[in-house]
Structure 1
Amino acid sequence: MVLVVDVGNTRIKCAVYELDILKATFVFTENEVENNLKNILISYPKVTDLIVSSVAKALTFDLQTISNDLNIHFVSNLDSFPFENKYTTPKTLGVDRMILAAGATLLFPGKNRLIIDAGTCVTYDFVDEYDNYWGGAISPGLRLRYASLHQFTAKLPLLSLEEPSGIVGNSTNQSIHSGVVNGLICEIDGFIERFKQQNENFTIILTGGDAVFLAKRLKNTIFANSNFLLESLNQFFQYKIKND
């Protein structure tokens, strides 16, 4: 068994896999991580490998202290990936984006793939049908958009995510909801349409914490999986075993 850990900007997500079979998923904060990982390992004593992807600061404790028997691997850009990296600044490419690209490459062979990760930021990553990774785009996620409107203006309130009443907001709050939510939906649909115009044989993957909220509002048919990064971590681990 393998325990995969995604250390994000706001939350830590984990999953236990037995080969390709998902056994359980967990979500918690950084303050809860040490005790929760220990409890997961107690519940799943057959876990032998721990794979960590982190876009945030490093964990505040030594992972080896939770178990002496674990094989621990922190994914980095020094690892071998199942795609050719064409990014012009490969050392600055986030590990989370590389893992998502690896998962798309392994799970959707022979396709042009656009991976959209809708979390704190929205990232777009493109892997062509020949397994070349070209890069993509980064923009603010839903909560960052709400926060920036409040932080960088004098009077706009800080709102939580809410379904807009329509495209035309009839109050300040509804205008903010329309601008934030409909604005991101139009952005994502626009990116998808541009990529479709340039590429055939196309697969679109939507993941991240806001994937479920956004998926039913987009006009394009997409593969939505909020746990795709965890699944990709497991696929990357299986790839690493076979190719090391």
Structure 2
Amino acid sequence: MHLVVDIGNTKIKAAVFEGTAFLEKFVLDKIEAKKKIEKIFEKYPSISKSILASVGEDDFELLSLLERQSSLVTIDRDSSFPFHNKYATPATLGIDRMVLSAGAVLQYPSVNRLVIDAGTCVTYDFVDSNNNYLGGAISPGLQLRYDAMHNFTAKLPLLYPEIPLHYIGSSTEQAMHSGVVNGMLHELEGFVKQYSEQYQELTIILTGGDADFLAKRLKNTIFANSNFLLESLNLLYLYTITND
């Protein structure tokens, strides 16, 4: 039994797996993470391995706990990945983007893949059918767009994602909702159209905290899976133990 842990920019996500079977997911605030993960070990005493990937600051108390309670495997750039990294600056490529790309290769072999992670930022990562990672794009996520309008203007309020009543906002708040949400949807659809025109047999995976919110409003055929990063971490671990 494995505990998979993703330390993100704002949250810590964890999941328990039995082989490839997804048993339970946990979303943790960083302040409470250590206590919560202690309870996960109590609930699942058969956990023998912990698989960790981090884009946030290291929590040394959490790392120590994982090492005491299990055999800890850290996924980093030195791990084995099932793709050829063609990024011009590979040392700057986030480990979360690498894990997502690995998951796309392992779950969807022999096709072109575009992974869209709608979280704090929105990342676009493309791996072609020959398993070449070519790069992608990064843009502000939904809440970051709201935060920016509030923090860098004098009078715009702080809002949170909400479906706009109409694309023509009839108030300042509705105009902001229309700009953020519809702007994001147009961005997503524009990128998908651009990739689809150049690459045939394109598989699109949408994940991240805002995946479900956005997926219902997209016109394109996508695989929406908010757990894709955790599943990819688990699959990548299973891949590394047979390829290292």
Same fold (TM over 0.5): yes
1:161 aligned residue: 161
The equivalent of 2:134 in structure 1 is 134
The superposition leaves residues 10-46 of structure 1 with CA deviations (integer Å, 9 ceiling, x where unpaired) of 1111000001111111111111111111111111111
Instruction: Give the aligned partner of residue 75 of structure 2.
Output: 75
Identity %: 55
Matches within 5 A, 1:5-154: 5-61=5-61, 63-65=63-65, 68=68, 70-154=70-154
The structure-2 alpha-carbon separation of the partners of 1:67 and 1:125, relative to structure 1 and needing over 3 Å to count, comes to: closer
In 2, Cα distance between equivalents of 1:124 and 1:107: 17
Distance 2:135 2:62 in 1: 33
In 2, Cα distance between equivalents of 1:204 and 1:224: 8
Distance 1:62 1:163, change over 3 A: closer
Tell me the secondary structure at the aligned position of residue 61 of structure 2: coil
Give the 3-state SS of the residue equivalent to 2:82 in structure 1.
coil
Shift of 1:66: 5.0
Q: Give structure 1 stretches of 5+ with no counterpart.
A: none
Aligned-partner Cα distance in 1 for 2:196–2:69: 47
Alignment length, in residue pairs? 244
Is contact 2:34–2:62 with CA below 8 Å preserved after alignment? no
After TM superposition, give the deviation of residue 69 of structure 1 in Å: 5.0
* TM-score when normalising by structure 1: 0.98
- Report deviation, 1:67: 5.5
Which residue in 1 is equivalent to 2:233? 233
**CA–CA separation in structure 2 for the residues paired with 1:57 and 1:70:** 21
> AA paired with 1:166?
H
Equivalents in 2 of 1:240, 1:189: separation in Å? 34
Q: Which residue of 1 aligns with 2:182?
A: 182
Question: Tell me, what secondary structure is at the counterpart of 1:61?
Answer: helix
One-letter amino acid matched to 2:228:
F
- The code of the aligned residue for 1:119 comes to G
SS in 2 for 1:80: coil
CA distance in 2: counterparts of 1:121 and 1:95, whole angstroms: 14
- What TM-score results when the alignment is normalised by the length of structure 2? 0.98
Q: Which moved more, 1:66-75 or 1:40-49?
A: 66-75
